[in-house]
Structure 1
């Protein structure tokens, strides 16, 4: 058994009891001298020199190590050369080429000290306050924010204006009030890289930059907080909890919930004054009143311990304006007989029955001012048939916008009788500006059947009993009229739902109509007569009553078609609208 060698390695100068040591023999010396590793590790190598096993292999077995490295593919994985000071057993192994590079690139202690001093100098420069030249942008940006804050403070706080929420209007406001702010908004906007975005994203980006300007101004002056109040009211209106609103407040995006509550109280206190101002500003225009029943179909109907939930009804009171002059109030405006049966008989016999013998399509050819819907181009045809749509694409159609509409009140009431309508009307009559308007002018009320019935009943009772009844006298300045949209929607419902299976084949009618007429001519066959009446009378009259006759202001033809659709309501048993249409014709004839 060989004796285990111990000692100090001549190459690494370490004593490692756990490692094997080897002496250099004559054969090992010859192999070592064929390479160059000994010159690096131990230039004074000779027979009997003691090496650890690792250094011995590196000096003597260097050729075998190269062959082993090239032939064994599994050894190609990179080793972890990370230095770990706590692991004394682990040694870092590098290739000979890497070792030569490290030796050649090694620096002296003096060179390292010089580099450390240079890094310290750079750090001191970076930590020093900026020079006046570097403060140029800070001064520029500070000046712009100060000017922006001044403009918004004067506009919102001193002049008591609401914050501008349109980006283009915002830019116009700040630039007109302070010319030094020109291109400041565009500077921030261009820094957001808008050229790489689509059109809609650009518009959204403008709104976000505007909000950023408001936030920067609010950080400088807390009185410029109009947008925070707008956001808080919107969040409260959408049902956001107190915790949610306060969280947004902590983020600097909104005011606190207590501020929301205070703003709501303030809005309630001043809202009546805004209604008075609205009526006063439109004294020389025609005011239009609308009263309708709104009910929440999505309310929970599960009863609790103390109550049984049901659908909540709310009466909405709206005012709108028209640019035409108001209609003067006249004492002879109303028929003292209410709906006059004798007047209706004369009008129906001598004015409408002659035209009623022809179909609607045949009668329409006699109306020179009415365009045939089949002659319209595709865009106008679709536009004409749009009756009731809330799509966002209609936002630019000013005749259907709510800019001129004012909400007067919103009260819990289901509007099921005349007294309910009188309660709602008293809310309107108690406004002083409304009283002065009703003393001189009338106000039309487009309404559905209940509104027509109960408001007309109140008017007739006031005419009949005068001061003996408790109905307010202002009711005589109201003119309930049958809304053309109600006529259109209800007649469509009657026609389309009653004869729905037929409409799947309706598109073929235009190709076979002439052949059918040539074949049947004046036949009294029930199926043929129903077919002709549906396609030449009911459907075109239903489609035209609102979209063509009313919108294009063809009033005489509109009233004549009202009579024709009254017969449709009678035929389909619509007991409400067959009466209210006669009431409209009676008023027109009077």
Structure 2
């Protein structure tokens, strides 16, 4: 490419006009931009573009320019796209004649042409189902049926089990993409996605580049450039995605995450490289209108009168390094969300965003709201905080209640563990959550088998303390902590969850759990406050409660 003597202007319509260096469009620029999916339909050889736009189109394949090219493409009528495909079909038919029998090379050429249109002109992603891939290809050209039939028979399907057949179909799909990629290097969505996946699993650059030499993946440098482009455009991507839900209800999830798969062995300088991150996820509820923030905050953290009155009638965007241990940590996480332009507009409309969080998230965010209401303008807390509504996450209630029940009855579970796995098996003082769940599930299943026999043995009038304690554990506590999230919450049964939330609070209170003997009361108090004031969030909870989950 030669530098143009022109002084502009840049012909790219989304140019930010920040560069005074110019480039002239050549065939090489057109080829690179077409390969990167950044070629707008109006760009022609001889046009003048600025250095910034050249880098975004031909070098870094910025998501901004990919979206611009796609938006420019969609300005054409669907009929135009169909005409393009018809022309391609006519050209293929003219070159192949009227014969219905294709040679192997002809079949690959037709596959390549269809995939090129599918990925480059229409802008669709790679297909990962062999049956779907075959159906689409045969729909474009019926002569490919014989090719796919021979390809499938070559795998000797009669000798394969069902599981092997599923695996073979994935391999055949890879073969199709591999052969098309050899014929045309621009049919590369499959190779790019495979390279990104390998990179995410800590595959070395050398290994990825070796596979790229074999034509299986793209190079590690291309992966790095693609990831950089995605990171640079992440804020715009989030903003454009949220813009589609500007009048719908939004639920915010803020939770801590520990990179447990990193190296934790100490060295001469550090004891661990485990990172503490804050996951910030926005979950839109597209079938419900936005929540008004007017009267959404309960002036009393816990209203005993509301709880007692209602219990009688109840039969329930970013990844940043952050420990989420202090009030400032949560305020910074919320500010990250509030700085998104679409969210700022959402807040100006007096809409509220519920935050599903654990106990620290609930108490710290409520503290920030209280501080603003009392002291008003604080350095890092503004009126934006009033648009966020902390709620107790059902998953945290379930996990903490399971752990509490297990620890309080550990001698019982330790004896059961030895009975199942042998006398030499020793149950840890603080087992992993999966082991706790396993023992709880075994206890419930076994009790269901023998409960009638045991109850008949002791009789309905038995007052033995040990028997009654174990009976309460097996009849009430274990089913409650196992079902409150897995069944009641996930099924969306709000009334049943609400009753169970009060019942599980009695367990926290009985065993004096430091935090969760308070957390459910704050949640229940808010619920009954919204019901008393007939707030829209009350109806939203009853209709779409399962969307208020902690993690996706």
Is 2:197 the partner of 1:234? Answer: yes
Q: Map Cα deviations across residues 365-406 of structure 1 (whole Å, 9 max, x no partner).
A: x95xx9xxxxxxxxxxxxxxxxxxxxxxxxxxxxxxxxxxxx
Partners of 1:248 and 1:227 in 2: CA distance: 13
- 2:493 and 2:252 map into 1 onto residues whose CA distance is 23
Change (3 A) 1:544 1:219: closer
Is the counterpart of residue 420 in structure 1 residue 329 in structure 2? yes
Residue 569 of structure 1 deviates from its aligned partner by: 0.9
| SS in structure 1 of the partner of residue 289 of structure 2 | coil
Alignment match of 2:477 (pick from 538, 546, 554): 538
Alignment of 1:182-197 (within 5 A): 182-197=145-160
| TM superposition shift of 1:577 | 0.7
Counterparts of 1:172-321 in structure 2, within 5 Å, are 172-283=135-246, 285-321=248-284
Structure 1 residues 169 and 268, CA gap change in structure 2 (3 angstroms): farther
After TM superposition, the structure 1 stretch with the greater mean CA deviation from structure 2, 467-476 or 442-451, is 467-476
Counterpart of 1:496 in structure 2 is 406
Q: Which residue of 2 aligns with 1:82?
A: none
Verify: 1:435 aligned to 2:394, yes or no.
no
Aligned Cα RMSD in Å? 2.9
Contact 1:462 1:469 in 2 (8 A): no
Aligned-residue offset at 1:139? 6.6
* Cα separation, partners in 2 of 1:137 and 1:288, compared to 1, 3 Å: same
CA shift in 2, pair 1:349/1:141, >3 Å: closer
Partner of 1:558: 497
Distance in 2, matches of 1:528 and 1:227, equals 62
Give, in whole Å, the separation in 2 of the partners of 1:231 and 1:557.
Answer: 45
> Does the C-alpha gap of structure 1 residues 527 and 313 become closer, same or farther in structure 2, counting only changes over 3 Å?
same
1:518 is paired with a residue whose SS is coil
Aligned match for 1:453, one of 336, 347, 363: 363
- Residues 306-332 of structure 1 deviation map (CA, whole Å, 9 limit, x = unaligned): 444353211111223345313431321
Give the whole-Å Cα distance in 2 for the aligned partners of 1:183 and 1:283. 50
Q: Is the 8 A contact 1:326 1:442 kept in 2?
A: no
Return the offset for 1:270.
3.0
1:549 maps to which residue? 488
Q: What displacement does 1:514 show? A: 4.7
1:585 aligns with 2:548: no
Structure 2: gaps spanning 5 or more residues: 1-98, 417-442, 530-552
Aligned length: 398
Shift of 1:576: 0.9
Pair 1:553–1:162, CA change in 2 (3 A) = closer
**Would you say the 8 A contact 2:116–2:187 is kept in 1?**
yes
Q: Which residue of 1 aligns with 2:306?
A: 347
Distance 2:101 2:478 in 1: 71
2:517 aligns to what SS in structure 1?
helix
SS in 1 for 2:407: helix
SS at match of 2:233: helix
CA-to-aligned-CA distance 1:134-168 (integer Å, 9 cap, x gap): xx999733332222111111222233332222222
CA contact (8 A) 2:138 2:145 kept: yes
- 1:519 alignment partner in structure 2: 461
Distance 1:162 1:490 in 2: 41
How far the C-alpha of 1:192 sits from its partner, in A, is: 2.1
Structure 1 residues 553 and 145, CA, compared in 2 at 3 Å: closer, same or farther?
Answer: closer
The answer to whether the 8 Å contact 1:287/1:326 transfers is no
Judged with a 3 Å threshold, the aligned counterparts in structure 2 of structure 1 residues 349 and 158 are, in CA distance, closer, same or farther, namely: closer
Q: Which runs of 5+ in 1 are unaligned?
A: 1-135, 356-365, 371-407
Larger radius of gyration between Structure 1 and Structure 2 = 1
1:528, 1:210 → 2: CA distance? Answer: 61
Q: Secondary structure at the match of 1:319?
A: strand
- After superposition, the Cα gap between the structure-2 partners of 1:412 and 1:515, relative to the gap in structure 1 and judged at 3 Å, is same
1:280-327: CA deviations, max 9, x gaps? 334454332211111133544444444443532111112233453134
Secondary structure at the residue paired with 1:162? coil
1:340-379 CA distance string (max 9 Å, x none): 4xx31x2344444x69xxxxxxxxxx95xx9xxxxxxxxx
Q: Specify the SS of the correspondent of 2:279.
A: strand
The one-character-per-residue Cα deviations of 1:62-114 (angstroms, maximum 9, x if unpaired) are: xxxxxxxxxxxxxxxxxxxxxxxxxxxxxxxxxxxxxxxxxxxxxxxxxxxxx
Contact (CA 8 Å) 2:331, 2:380: kept in 1 or not? no
Shift, 1:244, TM fit = 1.0
| Matched-pair contact (CA < 8 Å) for 2:338–2:344 | yes
Distance 1:329 1:457 in 2: 21
Q: 1:336, 1:463 within 8 Å by CA — same for their partners in 2?
A: no
Distance 1:562 1:147 in 2: 60
Give the TM-score taking structure 1 as reference length: 0.61
The residue aligned with 2:80 is none
